[in-house]
Chain A
Amino acid sequence: MKRLKAADHAKTYENVVYIENLSSNEYFQKNGEEAAPVLRDISLSVKKGQCWGINGDSLFSIKILLEIISNIRPYKDGKCSLLEMGMMRSKRVILPHVFYIGSPGMVYNNMNVLEFLMFATANSKTDKVLQQEQIFESLINIGLKKISMSPVRSLTKEQKAVIILLTAAYSSSDFAVFNLPEYSFDDALTGAMSKIAKFMSKKGKTLLIGTQSPDLIETVCTHTAYIVNGVSAYTGTVGEFKKKYDRIMMKISDKNAADLAKKLCTMLPEYDFSVDEDIITVRNYSEEEDNVRLVYEKIAETGFAPEKVKLNPKRVKYACEEIKRQYDLQK
């Protein structure tokens, strides 16, 4: 009965995770320095159907934050609620509507991938033949056909983690937490995760991914949070994050990059020009919108004919670098 109530409750609310001024019980201690909280004043609001990528400068901070959100680990101060219900006192108990993925060891090594997925979903009332067809099709669709008949024990830990994520997508849990920030996923697995995330979103499920991979956030997530020095530096959509922090406008390649940059600096003082070998990176730190046309005009005025000019499509990777740079400057 309790289980049913929790599941029903999950369907009622839009706010899946709500955190306000949360601080952790864990502290970083550096030699001769005062202990600093691993997490401090973190605020976050995750809505139903969203896919969040929790990023930051410390893997440990990301891991701890997701454990707190999943009710595994106690926290020191602040407010934290899951589906608008307060956290339970008995920690380590993950609420029924949360599917927590914290290790790749949750799968059985003595089965193949398709068999494991059939075994995990054996309690569904679907006809077994049909069910196997559907699972096999979804493995093909997400690009994991190659490993569908491979024994689980032969998979990499990243592949296992993705298989568990797929299992979470089939589960009745409305909220999945993928807390393996220390793993790096190749393009094929990132693609698979992206498709699984979309599938989950369609079903109204929420996904929280702990990662330090900008590419993963770029491909999979709709929202992101960035934690620097234990403090939440950004929370919001991925698009807004890129727009706000990726200040790179374009990259200009030229043999005389240094001379060209010097000239452009005087002509466009509102822009930042940095040179790395033959490449000039143009950044816009002003509040104004990027004016690409103006830069092109000024390049023409200098008389230089650059070999290549590449516009930056705004990337999470650059945004992450920039946000980290800004916080390092504040230190």
Chain B
Amino acid sequence: MIYKNSYFRKELRQAYIENKISTSRKLAFALFLGMLAFAVHFVLQSLSESVLSDAIPQVMQPSYFSTVSIYVTISFFINILYFMIYYEYLSFAEIRRNRWYLLEKMGYMPLRMIFSKLFAYIFSLISIYSTGFVFTIILTVFLKYTFVYKYLPALFIKGLIDLIVVGIVFMTASIFIMNPGNARYFMLLFTAATVIIRFATGYTRLTSDRILMQDVGNMFDLGKTVYIPISAAIILICFIICVYKARNVARFYSLPSGAYKKLVPEDSAVMMMDRSGKLSPFGKGEINRGKIIEVVTSVLFVLFVLSALAVNIFIILISTSQPGREVTIKGVIPYIFKSDTMEPTIMINDLAYFRRVDQTESIKTGDIILFQDKKVVYVERVLSQSGGELSVDIDFYPPLTQVGSMKKTVGRKSVYGVYTHSNRWLGALILFANTIFGRLLFLLIPAFVLFFYKPIINFFEENKTFEDEE
């Protein structure tokens, strides 16, 4: 076999060792994205009776718009993760590794390499994204939803623009940020900033609207959102910076940070003399910065694991709570409300909180109460009260049911809880946690983080020298 790799072909390979492997891996990645989108669609469908149906109707409805929107979102976040993992190969970090320095010595032109790298990245991005997009549509065909092709081009363009914006910004940042760990933190921050900008410019609202998305022109209508011109400006500016700066940096040899520590005798410190003749520690800033990042990362990880554990314990408590033997936390009974009888005050699958009450506490008319009647637990509203008797009824009778059929009179002694408030999102979270996928996720993530704490921390910190990373 004769090796005839050009720089462009090398870039197309990304992190993989052979061109063929790279092509098949990219195809597999695209199919994975499509299948993941499909899996998430199914999970969301199981949560349709929750706050999610009101909050994100665009992905909750059984339609092509839902599956494709989920694909576009998943593709955005997973591609960012992909970039973070393969940062070394996809970004301009190789300039900081002095790989371009070597290639320049061998007759390669930096400008050509810059264009090759950018185009190869965008080409790979488009091919993976498009393949996954088509695959998602093909999978949705099996669900027999009504096929509306009009919003597909707009969704496709939306996803592609998002990916190109983050891709080129990450590429540009990699020229300036020497430490891969810092670059990964930047990626996280920029991703969060992108999401905020999308909300702030009305882009999220626009792209969530099935009707508006049927006309691609709406995305470019400045009256509706300025996100696209902002994105175009970001892409253009980053492209210019990449071409100018990468070319400039490629001329320089990048000194590996912190590589000298092991060369200095233990009993000595190295000082640098500045122009005024003053001595200052050699590379002190790097060490301090490294320590700060290490502390921040560790604290964030501890917080994450602790909150995941707290959520788990809470979910387990709620899930084990049974009618008549409810778990009480500081005098409050949390209750997953599995009925629509108290809508709109308590929606189906909301997490409702009831204050535990004893016999001495007074109950007002209009209160929603938790009571037991013939060993069955009910939640109803107090309509009136006389002596020790309360007249109660539900708020909402579904169509085709007889209004007033649930009206009853209960003794004060049967009441043990008064409704205080409810939380729709926690209700949805618990509903999700009780699905197989949710159980796996909530139990596996903290376990995974605890088990792989060290490699994950290393992945983000990487304050090591270039040689250490090899």
Contacts and interface: CB of A to CB of B under 8 A. Distances in A.
Interface of A: 25-31, 35, 38, 58-60, 63, 67, 70, 72-73, 76, 92-94, 96, 99-100, 102-112, 114-115, 118-124, 128-129, 132, 151, 157, 160, 164, 167-168, 170-173, 181-182
Interface string B304-315: 000000000000
A100 B102 CA distance: 8
B413 interface: no
Contacts of B279: 27, 29, 35
**B256, B268, B273 — most chain A CB neighbours (10 Å):** B268
B285 to A, nearest CB: 16
Given A72-B253, A106-B97, A123-B107, A26 B270 contact: yes
A186 to B, nearest CB: 18
B267 interface: yes
A2 B48 CA distance: 68
B400 interface: no
19 contacts: A25-B273, A26-B270, A29-B268, A29-B269, A35-B271, A59-B263, A60-B270, A103-B98, A103-B470, A104-B470, A105-B98, A105-B469, A107-B99, A108-B94, A110-B17, A114-B3, A122-B5, A151-B17, A172-B105
B260 A171 contact: no
A60 B260 contact: yes
A27 B2 contact: no
A105 B99 contact: yes
Contacts, number: 146
B105 A171 contact: yes
B264 interface: yes
A92 B102 contact: no
A182 B262 contact: yes
Interface string B11-29: 0011111000000000000
B106 to A, nearest CB: 5
B108 interface: yes
A171 B106 contact: yes
A177 to B, nearest CB: 10
B270 A63 contact: no
A168 B102 CA distance: 8
A107 to B, nearest CB: 7
A49 B454 CA distance: 49
Given A105-B470, A157-B470, A115 B273 contact: no
Contact of B97 (A38, A92, A105): A105
**A58, A102, A110, A168 — most chain B CB neighbours (10 Å):** A110
A21 to B, nearest CB: 17
Contacts of B256: 102-103, 105
Contacts of A29: 268-271, 279
B17 A111 contact: yes
**A106, A129, A164, A170 — most chain B CB neighbours (10 Å):** A106
**A76, A120, A173 — most chain B CB neighbours (10 Å):** A120
B188 interface: no
Size bracket of the B interface: 35 or more
B240 interface: no
B467 A30 contact: no
A118 B270 contact: no
A110 to B, nearest CB: 5
A254 B15 CA distance: 62
B282 interface: yes
A305 B2 CA distance: 65
A28 B105 contact: no
B193 interface: no
B21 to A, nearest CB: 10
Contact of A103 (B16, B108, B252, B466): B466
B186 interface: no
Contacts of A170: 106
A64 to B, nearest CB: 9
Contacts of B259: 103
B322 to A, nearest CB: 56
Contacts of B105: 96, 99, 168, 171-173
Interface in B1-45: 2-6, 10, 13-17
B272 interface: yes
B241 interface: no
B106 A102 contact: no
**B101, B105, B253, B262 — most chain A CB neighbours (10 Å):** B105
Nearest to A127: B2
B109 to A, nearest CB: 9
Contacts of B466: 103, 105
Contact of A28 (B99, B106, B262, B270): B270
Contacts of B224: none
A119 B10 contact: yes
B394 to A, nearest CB: 65
A170 B106 CA distance: 8
Nearest to B252: A92
B253 A92 contact: yes
B115 to A, nearest CB: 16
B102 A120 contact: yes
B468 to A, nearest CB: 10
B89 interface: yes
Question: Which are the 5 A-B pairs with shortest beta-carbon distances?
Answer: A123-B107, A118-B3, A59-B263, A60-B263, A105-B97
Contacts of A121: 106
A128 B101 contact: no
B255 interface: yes
B466 to A, nearest CB: 5
Contacts of B264: 28, 60
B256 to A, nearest CB: 6
A100 to B, nearest CB: 6
